[in-house]
Amino acid sequence: MTTTIGISAERTVVRGVLLANTPGKPSEVLRAVHQRGDDGASIVDTLDALARTAPAIADVAVAYHTTEDRQRIVSELAGGPWRTSSLVSTRSALFALIADLPELGAFGTVLMLHLADHTATAVVVGPDRRQILASDGWTTGFAEDVAVEGPAVDSDAMTETIGRVRSMLASIPAHADAVALSGSSAVDPEIANALRYELTARVILLPDPADATARGAALIAADQARKQAVPPARAARGRGAVVLTAAAVAAVLGVSGFVVSQAMDESAPTMNARSLDTTSSTPPSTAAPTTTEPQVSPTASPPPPAAQPPAPAPVTTPIPDNRIWADTPRPAPPVAAPAPTTTLPRDPAPAPEENPAPETTAPAAPPTPTRVGAPNPQGLFPGESPPPAAGSDPAAEQAWWVNHWNLKRQWMNGG
């Protein structure tokens, strides 16, 4: 059994879950912690509280709602013992959660609607649970932590939400078989009633809806922990090397899956090999392969004798194996004409083709970086671009995080 931590950071509350993951069994929430603060609760305090319950933490993932949340989280965790925690979007966390909920297994296409922290996130997942069909996010007027006995939901916010959901569903060739509600603002029964009436779909309020995003983040961390536990694929210089391809990451984490590393400096990986020893970010060269032929003059047109004047018309010169027509005669060099079996002169002869390839060797590919420097206070490694904004293309978002994880793994294994 492995334990992972998932965190959902909102403006006035941080929600964390400690998740137990056993192969062949459903995941289990061992403990949930909610830290509140008028100026924003501490993510570090929440992580410390959960770590005291289970010191052996395999991985950690922190979910953010907005770009501002992401920047705040990076600033808080940078330089501390939890700086290797991964950041995942709310959309990615919800996507991971849908596939883990047995109560949604009987439905095909599922719409997950998460309402919390005056924000709404909607994700549509198909029957195979392998990719996000559509998604959207926006700010709302829903109050935070609405109690069941509290006031009715804001009508304007509900109207906007229904309109957004309808537009999103209209963009895909599928009908939502069920709507799963989550988030601290989703417990008002009026929300479920309105969605049930407008969308004519089954509406399900998830258990512990406020912890849904944190649990999804913990599931992403658990997926990566399982990937890290796979034995090395092959040896590199006598030391184990971990090979993770983008396809494998996508298959496990979906279109927006992210990866995590060790949670604390004290539990840094004990792998001997560097994860990037077997990969390279250098694009393959498109130049022709380097051979000995381009380095010498072609045998197609040996020069004429020194005493023979150049012919006004194109001529041909026989060679042992084939014939090639030269466009123009070659001026006579100050040496005698060699026999066909002798070494050709060093002076280059006319190209045998109409569009000859340049007689240069293929440029050497830039060397693969062997060391990665420490991340800056924003969590970015030297030369790394900032992550895509929230709501960006899932493929670009996934590619950035896969590369970020590779850099982080290489840095944690000694650069």
pLDDT of residue 188: 87
Whole-number mean pLDDT of the chain?
Answer: 71
Report which secondary-structure segment, H or E, holds 406.
helix 394-412
**If pLDDT is split at 50, 70 and 90, which confidence band does 179 have?**
very high
Percent of the chain residues past pLDDT 90, beyond the cut? 32
**If pLDDT is split at 50, 70 and 90, which confidence band does 371 have?**
confident
Strand pairing class (110-116; 86-89): unpaired
CA dist., res. 333 & res. 411, Å (int): 60
The string of pLDDT tens digits covering residues 96-144 is 999 999 889 999 999 999 998 889 999 999 999 999 999 999 988 876 6
Q: Does the fold of domain 102-205 match that of domain 1-89+210-282+367-415?
A: yes
Give CATH superfamily name and number for 1-89+210-282+367-415: ATPase, nucleotide binding domain (3.30.420.40)
pLDDT of residue 231: 56
CATH number 3.30.420.40 given to 102-205: yes
- Following CA atoms 364, 365, 371, 372 in sequence, which dihedral angle do they give, to the nearest 10 degrees? 140
pLDDT of residue 407: 85
pLDDT of residue 141: 82
pLDDT of residue 24: 79
pTM for the structure as a whole = 0.57
**Beta-strand runs (E) in 65-197:** 86-89, 110-116, 119-125, 132-139, 178-182
The string of pLDDT tens digits covering residues 233-250 is 443 433 333 333 333 333
pLDDT exceeds 50 at position 223:
yes
CA dist., res. 256 & res. 98, Å (int): 14
CA dist., res. 338 & res. 304, Å (int): 9
Residues in the chain: 415
Q: Domain extents for the chain?
A: 1-89+210-282+367-415, 102-205
pLDDT exceeds 50 at position 148:
no
pLDDT of residue 153: 66
1 burial type by CB count under 10 A (0-12 exposed, 13-18 middle, 19+ buried): exposed
